[in-house]
Amino acid sequence: MGKKGKKEKKVSGAEKTACKMEKKVSKRSKREEEDLEALIAEFQSLDAKKTQVVETTCPPPSPRLSASLSAHPEKDELILFGGEFFNGKKTYLYNDLFFYNIKKNSWVKSEIPNPPPPRCSHQAVVVPQSGGQLWVFGGEFASPNGEQFYHYKDLWVLHLATHTWENIKAPGGPSGRSGHRMVLSKRQLLVFGGFHESSKDFIYYNDIYSFSLDTFSWSRLSPSGTAPSPRSACQMMTSTPDGLGVTIYGGYSKVRVKKDIEKGTIHSDMFVLKREGKDDLVEKWSWSRVSPSGNKPPPRSGFCMAMGPTGRAVLFGGVCDEEEEESLEGDFYNDLYLYDAVKNRWFPGLLRGNKTEKKKRRRGKKGGVEGEGAEKEEEDMSTPRGPYEIIKEIVTEDGTVMTIKETIPGRQEEEEGDEEEDEDDDGSSSPLIEPCPRSGAMATVRQGKLFLYGGMFETGDRQFTLNDFYCLDLHKMDQWEVLVEMDPSKSRIYSQSDRKVKKKEKSLTTVRFIALCAVLSRPTSSDAEVESKH
C-alpha cells in the first residue's frame, strides 16, 4: 500500500507540473492567438457568404504538406482537406476540399458553406455511418510571416451524403494543439499527444481523450501502466489483432536545455493502448510497451503511415534531422516499411518490379550467346545486393542545378517462411520509378492500394514543396504508378537562409533523371546537395 501511494503521488506531481507548464504557455501565447483570431474571423466571414455547394472539375491540388488525405468509406474516392504552403515570403494555410475519383483519375473541388477555418497538421478520420462522415479535429493556423501560431481545439464533421459541414460543440475536450493523432476505435474517436507552441514557449502532450460518436461527448482517459513520453507527429493505428486497442509508434519532441537552446528527440518506440473492459460503467484502458522484431525503420520523423490489407501498417519516407548548435541538416527517405501487428514484426517493403520484363529475361536463357548472357544477368540479379544510388538533377529557370541523391534499398534475402516471398521474384535490372525522398506527405489506403500525395524535401538551404501523386498496389508490391507528375509551374523552391528570394513564375524548365547503380556499403551522410550554376 505504501509503494502504491508513493507512485500515485509521483503521477500526481507530474500532472501538476504539466498543468503549470500548459498554463504558462497558454498565458504567453494568448496575446498572439488573439491577434490571429481576428484574421481567422475574416476568413470565416468570407466563407459565410457562400450559401450553396459548388463542385467543379479541377486540376490536382496545389503543392502542400501537413494536409489530410482520407479514403471515402463507401466510394472509390479520396478526400483531401487543408494543408500549408510557404513560398519564401508568405505562409499559406488552406481549408479547401478536394475529392479524387480513383477510377476516373480526376479531381473535383467542393466548395461547401461554413467550412472549418484554414489549418494544417490537423487530424481527419472517416466514419462509415449515415452515408459516410469525415471528422476533423485541431490543427494550427500561422500568421503570414510564419512567426505566430494559433492552435485549434474545435471538432468538425463533414456529412458526405449531404455535403454539409457541422461544428460539434462539446465541452471537456483536448486543449488546442497540432501534430496530434486521432483514430476510430469501435464507436469512439481517440485523440493522443500533439503540441502547442508560441513564439517563446512550447509544450508536448501525451494525454489521451475519447469522443463518443453515440453521445457526442468528450472524456479524458486515465490508462494504467507506463504511457509514451509527450510527443507529436507519431502514428496511431487501430491494428491490434483483437481489435480492442490501438498502437502508437514513433514521434518527435523537444526540450529547452538552456535559455536559447532546444534539443529535439526522434522517438522510435512503440506502445499499445488496450481496452480492458468496464468498471462501474467506466471503460478501463492500459498502456504497455512492445518491442517488435524484424527489420525496423531507422529513426525518423515526418513519415506518413496508413493501414494496409490484412491489418498491416505501411510506413513511407520521413526525415532524420542532424541538429548542430547553429545548423539543422536532414536526411530524407523514400523507403517503405510494413508492420505486421499479428507477428509484431517489421520488414522492409521491397518492390518486386514488373514481371513481364522478368519473363522476357528468362526466355532469353534459351537463345545461344544471348541466353548465356541473360543467364549470367539472372544469376547476378538473384543474389543479394547492397543499396544503390539514384541521382536526380532539377534545373531551375535561373540556372540553379538541384542534385537529389536517393539511396534505394538493395535486394535482400527474404526471411524463410515469409508469405511475401515470390519464387519468380528475381529483382529488376533497372531502378524502378519511385517517389523522391520527402517528409510531411499525405497517405491513405483504398482497395488495397497505397496513395501518396505531396510533402516536401530540402536540399542544402532550400525547401521544395511537392504536388505529385502516386499509388502502389500493396498486394502485388511491384512498382509505383505515377498519377500526377510534379508540376514545375506550381511547385516552388525557396531559400531558408534568405527568405527574400524572389518567386519564379516558371521555376523549373527541365527535370532530368540520371540513374546510377552503384553498390554502397552504407548510405551517404548527406542525401541532397545544391549546386549553383552561374
pLDDT by 10s per residue, the chain, length 534: 444 444 444 445 555 555 555 555 555 556 667 778 888 988 888 888 888 999 999 999 999 999 999 999 999 999 999 999 988 888 999 999 999 999 999 999 999 999 999 999 999 999 998 999 999 999 999 988 888 899 999 999 999 999 999 999 999 999 999 999 999 998 999 999 999 988 778 999 999 999 999 999 999 999 999 999 999 999 999 867 677 789 999 999 999 888 778 889 999 999 999 998 887 778 899 999 999 999 999 999 999 999 998 889 999 999 998 765 555 567 899 999 999 998 999 999 999 886 554 454 444 444 444 444 444 444 443 344 445 555 555 554 445 555 555 555 554 444 444 444 444 444 445 567 899 999 999 999 999 999 999 999 887 777 889 999 999 999 999 999 999 997 665 555 555 443 332 222 222 222 222 222 222 222 333 332 223 333
pLDDT at 462 (0 to 100)? 79
C-alpha cell recorded at residue 448? 488495397
pLDDT at 486 (0 to 100)? 79
| Burial category of 147 from C-beta neighbours within 10 Å (exposed 0-12, middle 13-18, buried 19 and up) | exposed
C-alpha cell recorded at residue 94? 488552406
Whole-prediction pTM: 0.78
C-alpha cell recorded at residue 208? 489521451
Q: What is the Cα gyration radius of the chain?
A: 24
- Per DSSP, the chain holds a count of helices (H) and strands (E) of 3, 33
Q: In what order do the strands lie in the sheet with 164-168?
A: 123-127, 133-137, 155-159, 164-168
In this structure, are residues 228 and 206 in contact, taking their beta carbons and an 8 Å threshold? yes
pLDDT at 506 (0 to 100)? 25
pLDDT at 238 (0 to 100)? 84
Residue 220 per-residue DSSP state: E
**How far are the Cα atoms of 61, 359, 482 from residue 69, in angstroms, in the given order?**
12, 37, 17
pLDDT at 98 (0 to 100)? 98
pLDDT at 381 (0 to 100)? 38
Scanning the structure block, which residue is given the C-alpha cell 522478368? Answer: 358
Phi-psi map region of 467: left, alpha, beta (phi>0 left; psi -120 to 50 alpha): alpha
pLDDT at 314 (0 to 100)? 97
pLDDT at 281 (0 to 100)? 76
pLDDT at 504 (0 to 100)? 26
pLDDT at 370 (0 to 100)? 46
Phi-psi map region of 475: left, alpha, beta (phi>0 left; psi -120 to 50 alpha): alpha
pLDDT at 491 (0 to 100)? 58
pLDDT at 49 (0 to 100)? 86
pLDDT at 525 (0 to 100)? 30
pLDDT at 296 (0 to 100)? 95
Cα-flanking dihedrals φ and ψ of residue 226, to 5°? -90, 120
In this structure, are residues 341 and 243 in contact, taking their beta carbons and an 8 Å threshold? no
